[in-house]
Structure 1
């Protein structure tokens, strides 16, 4: 941070602007929140969660008064170091996720924290989407997309943020807000910032008058280019307001803050056809790109042999890839159309155009979506595959450059030669061939002697090759950041570079907005502050800190995300090696709550992670290592005495319900809340949706001899927890499920000594793996006897238990079904269903998602109710076994978006886990219960055998 900055005075005044809870300065969270996906690390002195425009408008002038640099951060998927700082980091969180859609969906206004993929889900019903489509679209935020002018596989240069920008709300360094879509705002800004607009108008006029410079700028932006500022704004527009808002695109937070952007949306054709074309060599593949570029091709992804080799052993990849020689290459080509006939015509045109090009296999398009997805999985797996194969401790650097398409083959071959010259063997090349845009991945180990200097020489040769030899862009779509800032003048020349300096001076004369990014006087800036990547645990060592895991994490708005947990663990290991005992003790103490206690261990992060890293599994192991001998003895005792523990738990719920009836909800809440506070949070928190004790149903009626058998395993939660007090559904889940199965014509069999059985999930989630395995072993024995050694299907009424059983008993010969799976696949067809005129909500649990059953759960609800709502922004509920009782703030954070996502007419919700349903009820204000209740309510038996 700048030496003359008065940070203490800044902080003192800042406390009058934002709540104290929004000011983060502890060493754990500043490290974690200050990490992005790049190869650099700077730890901010302060992180500020910014709640709205008014706070930004007051913070920026305050920072200017005290000479304190600030950096804006959204999702932190930046690959070039744009979102890190050692000063003040302004964190743009969920408060910035609102949007407004035009009636015809021709435009959409998005706040900066809206995830790009979510914007497309909003637009999908209208057959539209936003133009930019970066690979991180389902993770990155719109603010970052616009600030970096990120593009992608199909975006090209015609549909990026610069080309599809309609209007913008921008806040400048002096706190002034300009809404370019509002006439009054434009008029007021013209009056208040006359000098700035006059200077921009003058720069534009001067640039356009210089024919050589203007021509150079136009040529540079005919290909993808995010190196430096968007100088094309000076030649494309005359109105200084238009110049200003287009300069903001790609400015990486160095000129101001984009508080909202309105995009002109683009068509998203429904019909698509895809093919993977194999060529004998790169030059032939690039020649094919030139042939199909004028045709209606949406994407053409180039992959060299090293790329294909990195994924050839993965499931679903065509076996032919393993037989290719070292010179081979591939193009993944997709064409899209609004109707099937047009798509067929386009496929025919592309096929005919390539008929004279040498290929290694016949060219065949597919329209099967599953097959298309498998082909695209090859392309999307390239970067993560290299990340997962790299040696532990090495960095992952992905760069992107662009040239005119006729130069693409030469550039690719030159890159391969460059890798060999600098010892980066095994590096891969892939990219958006239609735009002459190549990505490449190298994995240096900066801990090795001489590694930094080797990287310096590589970057110097790369820059010379791209700029001088091929007249290309050093940054095509990842943004200049820190790693290309020293090379901007090399690419643009002294005149254009001086123009960029003048733009920066006009907007940010004190150089306080993200200093060091995009423009940097230090020729070695790209070699400083390199991120350490020490080995932590084989479970997570392959993490490349990309942040893909974060959107689905239930604790992301409370404490840490999976990426941040790994970052913090790496710092703990570094401190251990550095023997910094005091800092280490402090970090470990902070990590206990932030990293371990408030992790939901749902493992959804493994599904989102490009390399399948299961941070939840790591956390469970760390929890297990943290328990003392007394805790392990208690766990063993509970596992060995599970039946009496179940009885006591059931009795406790009955007593709590009786006390609730006597005191009422308000007094009960006050009393239990006070007890919890006095206990220091050790006593579980009661809430009005706590379950009553589960009660057995009436004795079942006998079933006919023709009835098929099904073994029904009711979880310990279902056996102990009944419906909540006040729930119109008064019957407990076990008798309700048994009655539904019998209604469908099944003979229901229960395992013997049921109250003593458990799948082991409560033990595993706390890290007591041995006790969890013991309980699963007991359950397997009981299920094998009940099912006649696997002859009969087995149904679990709780998804977390079903998932654990399916995982641990795979290959056992037992046919295990989750309740939603069994109802959908076998029970629905045996019932007569009357669809109810209701709107209901459905929540797929994290276990349902991991088993791939969310669509089946939704289908059951859709068969039963006229309208079904599945909130898109709600993922794991964060109850996490019993965490909802002991750390209720985790459940509250995970479900903060639930109530606003449910329409008023929605009166009830359905899921497949009794404990999850407690939290869902509490934070929605509706009773959530098992999907069994909904199906039972709308169905009658179809008589006779099936």
Structure 2
């Protein structure tokens, strides 16, 4: 069934073509969320303004077109997919207004939760909701699902911390509950609707049994169905309306902004792990802890602990716990260390009377805290990592009344055993009686689907009927629990939900079959296939946690979408279908525009690096192996050719002028994509390094590995810093008292990254090994540290480095660990922009880079939302649109800065072009603001002559 022509014409007139998608690749890519369901939308629209949403909803009502809203797509229950029209939030939903020193914050729905907390952190505040997906999920989804989390409980979820909403109803009407004018107009235009809501509220509150049931249900963590508590908690129909939207999962309206009452972010915390010999003893302890000063109490059953017991850093005792053991991870937070000590003593005293099998005492050490939380956070990916290819991971969450928690745990475990889910684990937010159970599930045959259906039926009967709990504590009803809403709530409350749905969405166009469905089998339909694609990505659970850090997200495909597409292509090929057209699309959208920097692996729960898949695909299609081998064997010649090319390019630019040259180059590029992009910050050619013999003096030696880009590319002619990086680095190292030496045959050396990224891993590894041998020789078998002047090359060398004798450093780590005590810093007043490269993040040096920058400048700016610049080696020349897209917000973010710093020469080209600032290496800034400490000031500096450098032969 196609969409009505009138609606399509309206969408085409309203939305530019680049924000409308109806091709098979785009609809599949956008039709995937984190759930185990899939629907393919007929039309995907990236909306950028409230006015667009209003206009589209009016058209949808007129033509009875179903519409679903999509924020980050991290939803687990199938609430962010559609087989009709999918409205996806674009870039321009990131507004915020911080009020009263952070006590309130107004946010648009496209803001990522963690970013909101970053804005609030200077005020010592945070959002109440703390979902596990907070680094990826967006405010729109947090509100629409009434998400909570480990520390949130029920008191601090969106419903209870809501201060105001701006919403759009199905008929396109907009009302802002914080604007008196808007409220007045709405009360006039929608008087009948508000009167009906008011009457429903009066009827519910007058029905003592129903009102009591609603209050009981929301004493528990509960997101099953619509938020009926709005009818008993509020009398003003506008308050009722606003709170009904919370947890409505896009079925009642669109939320275009929300104002939160924030909560205090206590800075001091202590964490402990306590293992009890039985579930019963563990849950008795939970009851006792409920009245204690604890922020989080996470329960882990024996299976959960077993799933991570062999992980690095796990306590050895975890492997030897009894079969019935059950653990609590306990955290207490406070505003001061003294208060924290008092609280910890109180908690310890409370637990003293309980039988304990093992324990790790409370610790305030950040490293130990992180290690303990890694046990809890590692359980879900541990299940995902061991599942069979073709299956998915399902995480359900239910709530038992706390007084019956132990019985609920044991009964739930028994159900999982009954239905043969032997790999299933159970953990949860114990203070709320909220349990998550995780299991692997295949949907490839009727028997597997029947097994899942039987489990869900038994779980629903156990939790909702026998225990009076909630079937969805925090993940939202979605499609998954829609058939069971009546079972949990009873017919009267269920019909009340339908009354509200039909009142606010009379034509049923908003997210049909989500939360409420007339199809009792909707939870068994539209099940997502998870076909094998490649061993590198088969463990992907399509959660979308990777997406915020991907530079191509929104331009072409994200890592999740790349995997989705490759899975589909492989499945189609196995079915004998012709995939030529899809593969041609995937070549550009999936392969060519992938930066392959691997930041996605840092966010992935199961550690998948989609870039590895892309490199593998590039290798499979690489056709110039002989050329790559020649280039590897004649690298010095290649480098010399690069210098000649830069000289010619800069000569042409001086002759014609930079603007005219850029226009000519752009014109040629339009004729042929083989012509590289001409960046505004085009580097000048760097003269070859001139060597001299190392001096025989008492200074400690450091081997300086100047990366090939540093050896070929000097500063841009427009850069205020005209000293080449190699000279500036040597100057800084010698200032700190080091003798700088270089490996011999430097121009022939390369870490191999250019070859590996182009699909020639053998040639790349050969260059890497040759370089490692040269560095071992230069460092006297590892006696001297090796300083590499760019982070990407350092990462390439240290990754899987077998020879541990080499002591390799990138600029950040070397400066932080070797130079801070040798130099005096006088920070400059001028603000500086800092770009933390992908490789710096992989090397674990992000914080160290910021620490150094803050020693150098009174004001350090890290642009929001830029995790990767997208230059990706040479992508800034060959796919400049990737670099431009990744840095589209950079200029506004750094406009008051004087300069920018980074640790990658190629990244700095794109950063300079798209910011209007000069970006250069960190060493320029450090050298400018430092002088030798007195202990080094009198050291004899026997340096080579100007322009010469010491080499080891």
Question: TM-score band (shorter)?
Answer: over 0.9
CA distance in 2: counterparts of 1:466 and 1:641, whole angstroms: 70
Distance 1:6 1:855, change over 3 A: closer
Q: State the match for 1:541 in structure 2.
A: 538
What are the superposed Cα offsets for residues 128-167 of structure 1, whole Å, 9 maximum, x if unpaired? 1111111111111010000000111111111100000000
Classify the secondary structure of the residue corresponding to 2:841: helix
Q: State the match for 1:736 in structure 2.
A: 728
CA distance in 1: counterparts of 2:895 and 2:634, whole angstroms: 45
Counterpart mapping for 1:740-889 below 5 A: 740-889=732-881
CA contact (8 A) 1:467 1:490 kept: yes
| Residue 916 of structure 1 pairs with residue 907 of structure 2 | yes
Classify the secondary structure of the residue corresponding to 1:200: helix
Q: CA deviation at 1:391?
A: 1.4
Q: State the match for 1:239 in structure 2.
A: 236
Question: Which deviates more from structure 2 when the two are superposed, residues 824-833 or residues 392-401?
Answer: 824-833
Q: CA deviation at 1:516?
A: 0.8
Distance 1:806 1:7, change over 3 A: same
CA distance in 1: counterparts of 2:817 and 2:357, whole angstroms: 43
CA distance in 2: counterparts of 1:708 and 1:369, whole angstroms: 34
CA distance in 2: counterparts of 1:661 and 1:177, whole angstroms: 56
CA contact (8 A) 2:21 2:43 kept: yes
Q: State the match for 1:691 in structure 2.
A: 683
Counterpart mapping for 1:675-690 below 5 A: 675-679=668-672, 681-690=673-682
What are the superposed Cα offsets for residues 31-68 of structure 1, whole Å, 9 maximum, x if unpaired? 11121110101111111000110000100011111111
Question: Which deviates more from structure 2 when the two are superposed, residues 831-840 or residues 518-527?
Answer: 831-840
Classify the secondary structure of the residue corresponding to 1:788: coil
What are the superposed Cα offsets for residues 227-268 of structure 1, whole Å, 9 maximum, x if unpaired? 000001011111110000000000000000000000000111
Classify the secondary structure of the residue corresponding to 1:350: helix
CA distance in 1: counterparts of 2:318 and 2:303, whole angstroms: 11
Question: Which deviates more from structure 2 when the two are superposed, residues 557-566 or residues 500-509?
Answer: 557-566
CA distance in 1: counterparts of 2:804 and 2:221, whole angstroms: 54
Q: CA deviation at 1:93?
A: 2.4
Counterpart mapping for 1:278-289 below 5 A: 278-289=275-286
Q: CA deviation at 1:309?
A: 0.4
What are the superposed Cα offsets for residues 370-407 of structure 1, whole Å, 9 maximum, x if unpaired? 11111111111111111111112111111111021011
CA distance in 2: counterparts of 1:597 and 1:743, whole angstroms: 43
Q: Which runs of 5 or more residues in structure 1 are unaligned?
A: none
CA distance in 1: counterparts of 2:848 and 2:483, whole angstroms: 54
Distance 1:614 1:699, change over 3 A: closer
CA distance in 2: counterparts of 1:816 and 1:349, whole angstroms: 47
Classify the secondary structure of the residue corresponding to 1:170: strand
What are the superposed Cα offsets for residues 818-863 of structure 1, whole Å, 9 maximum, x if unpaired? 1221122113323343322221111121111101112222222222
CA distance in 2: counterparts of 1:249 and 1:637, whole angstroms: 63
Q: CA deviation at 1:362?
A: 5.1
CA distance in 1: counterparts of 2:801 and 2:540, whole angstroms: 29
| Residue 723 of structure 1 pairs with residue 715 of structure 2 | yes
Classify the secondary structure of the residue corresponding to 2:185: helix
Q: Which runs of 5 or more residues in structure 2 are unaligned?
A: 941-953
Residue among 523, 530, 533 paired with 1:526: 523
Residue among 601, 625, 636 paired with 2:629: 636
Q: CA deviation at 1:85?
A: 0.7
Classify the secondary structure of the residue corresponding to 1:41: coil
Q: State the match for 2:212 in structure 1.
A: 215
| Residue 114 of structure 1 pairs with residue 99 of structure 2 | no
CA distance in 2: counterparts of 1:96 and 1:37, whole angstroms: 21
CA contact (8 A) 2:895 2:915 kept: no
Counterpart mapping for 1:380-395 below 5 A: 380-395=377-392
CA distance in 1: counterparts of 2:19 and 2:405, whole angstroms: 48
Q: CA deviation at 1:213?
A: 0.8
Residue among 578, 593, 597 paired with 1:598: 593
CA distance in 2: counterparts of 1:935 and 1:194, whole angstroms: 65
CA distance in 1: counterparts of 2:260 and 2:24, whole angstroms: 38
Classify the secondary structure of the residue corresponding to 2:46: strand
CA contact (8 A) 1:164 1:265 kept: yes
| Residue 667 of structure 1 pairs with residue 694 of structure 2 | no
Residue among 580, 603, 609 paired with 1:608: 603
CA distance in 2: counterparts of 1:598 and 1:191, whole angstroms: 52
CA distance in 1: counterparts of 2:605 and 2:889, whole angstroms: 26
RMSD value, Cα: 1.5
CA contact (8 A) 2:532 2:571 kept: no
Counterpart mapping for 1:269-418 below 5 A: 269-361=266-358, 364-418=361-415
Q: State the match for 1:153 in structure 2.
A: 150
Question: Which deviates more from structure 2 when the two are superposed, residues 813-822 or residues 105-114?
Answer: 813-822
Q: State the match for 2:575 in structure 1.
A: 578
Distance 1:698 1:458, change over 3 A: closer
CA distance in 2: counterparts of 1:487 and 1:317, whole angstroms: 39
Question: Which deviates more from structure 2 when the two are superposed, residues 275-284 or residues 833-842?
Answer: 833-842
| Residue 70 of structure 1 pairs with residue 70 of structure 2 | no
Classify the secondary structure of the residue corresponding to 1:275: strand
CA contact (8 A) 2:679 2:910 kept: no
Counterpart mapping for 1:904-943 below 5 A: 904=896, 906-941=897-932, 942-943=936-937
What are the superposed Cα offsets for residues 79-134 of structure 1, whole Å, 9 maximum, x if unpaired? 00000011110001221111110032111001001111111111111111111111
Deviating beyond 6 angstroms after TM superposition, the runs of 4 or more aligned structure 1 residues are 697-702
CA contact (8 A) 2:792 2:839 kept: yes
Q: CA deviation at 1:702?
A: 7.5
Classify the secondary structure of the residue corresponding to 2:347: helix
Q: State the match for 1:902 in structure 2.
A: 894
User: Could you tell me the TM-score, scaled by structure 1's length?
Assistant: 0.97
Distance 1:830 1:347, change over 3 A: closer
CA distance in 2: counterparts of 1:101 and 1:466, whole angstroms: 41
Classify the secondary structure of the residue corresponding to 2:178: coil
CA contact (8 A) 1:298 1:336 kept: yes
CA distance in 1: counterparts of 2:786 and 2:417, whole angstroms: 57
| Residue 625 of structure 1 pairs with residue 625 of structure 2 | no
CA contact (8 A) 2:301 2:426 kept: yes
CA distance in 2: counterparts of 1:856 and 1:682, whole angstroms: 39
CA contact (8 A) 1:845 1:876 kept: yes
User: Could you tell me the TM-score, scaled by structure 2's length?
Assistant: 0.97
CA contact (8 A) 2:3 2:84 kept: no
CA distance in 2: counterparts of 1:305 and 1:499, whole angstroms: 41
CA distance in 2: counterparts of 1:220 and 1:175, whole angstroms: 32
CA distance in 2: counterparts of 1:815 and 1:161, whole angstroms: 50
Q: State the match for 1:181 in structure 2.
A: 178
CA distance in 2: counterparts of 1:540 and 1:753, whole angstroms: 40
CA distance in 2: counterparts of 1:709 and 1:347, whole angstroms: 49
CA contact (8 A) 1:536 1:570 kept: yes
CA distance in 1: counterparts of 2:72 and 2:527, whole angstroms: 20
CA distance in 1: counterparts of 2:787 and 2:200, whole angstroms: 72
Question: Which deviates more from structure 2 when the two are superposed, residues 91-100 or residues 594-603?
Answer: 91-100
CA distance in 1: counterparts of 2:644 and 2:931, whole angstroms: 34
CA contact (8 A) 1:696 1:732 kept: no
CA distance in 2: counterparts of 1:195 and 1:6, whole angstroms: 32
CA contact (8 A) 2:273 2:359 kept: no
Q: CA deviation at 1:707?
A: 1.5
Classify the secondary structure of the residue corresponding to 1:184: helix
Distance 1:559 1:184, change over 3 A: same
CA distance in 2: counterparts of 1:659 and 1:402, whole angstroms: 70
Give the number of aligned pairs: 937
